[in-house]
Amino acid sequence: GENVEQHPSTLSVQEGDSAVIKCTYSDSASNYFPWYKQELGKGPQLIIDIRSNVGEKKDQRIAVTLNKTAKHFSLHITETQPEDSAVYFCAASKGSSNTGKLIFGQGTTLQVKP
Amino acid sequence: NAGVTQTPKFQVLKTGQSMTLQCAQDMNHNSMYWYRQDPGMGLRLIYYSASEGTTDKGEVPDGYNVSRLKKQNFLLGLESAAPSQTSVYFCASSPNRGTGGGEYNEQFFGPGTRLTVL
């Protein structure tokens, strides 16, 4: 089955710096790659997603890139702010399943130091 | 809209006890999911329901059962709780409108249930 590996497990940056989180997936049939942010004591919330027919997508300070050949995708956060501190999860979905199932990475704890 | 709600928020069980975690969504979503979250292991799918009345196993279904009798509710049961089931449990739902759309649907998560089995 699909396997999603996420790195690093923890990331500490200074406010204003950029942060990059990387994920690799195993199943070449996967075609949807969302990123979720989980704040302390809350459930994960979608922040950005990308489909396999797109190489890059941006939304203000966050962007996601996808390399289908290498089977990896990355989350980029620029001009980080203390409120970006949270756990971030990548995920992959195989379109052929038609169930909406997601396979999640292990998570990255991002700390933005003021 | 309340979104996805879960009850209870916290629960402590003794080994061997049984309980049901409840999940409700008011967004008329077709699909619902149960995950467990353990440190360093991300979110692992326990069971899912692609549509009302159907359920399927996920990655870690052993020791759990589920029920989706109504579209808005998805129940997770522990028949005989074990310390290994100590975890935070999240329920999620997604529109999952069917062929060509299901795989791109956002999942909306509840606030979680923190379960401790002694």
B31-62: pLDDT as tens digits: 999 999 998 888 999 999 988 999 999 999 99
pLDDT score, position B104: 62
Cβ A89 vs Cβ A47: under 8 Å: no
Higher pLDDT, B98 or B60: B60
Burial A73-103 (b: 16+ CB within 10 A, else e): bbbbbeebeeebbbbbbbbbbbbeebbbbbb
Q: What is the pLDDT of residue B102?
A: 45
Instruction: Say whether pLDDT at A25 is over 60.
Output: yes
Instruction: State the Cα–Cα distance between residues A100 and A83, nearest whole angstrom.
Output: 29
Asked whether the beta carbons of B33 and B93 are under 8 A apart, the reply is yes
Question: Looking at residues B61-86, what average pLDDT do you find?
Answer: 96
Q: What is the CA radius of gyration of chain B?
A: 14
Q: What number of C-beta contacts closer than 8 Å exist between A and B?
A: 81
B105 in contact with A, Cβ within 8 Å = yes
**Cβ contacts of A98 on chain B, cutoff 8 Å:** 50, 96, 98-99, 102-103
User: What pLDDT is recorded for position A95?
Assistant: 60
Q: Quote the percentage of chain B above a pLDDT of 70.
A: 93
Chain A residue numbers touching B60 (CB-CB < 8 A)? none
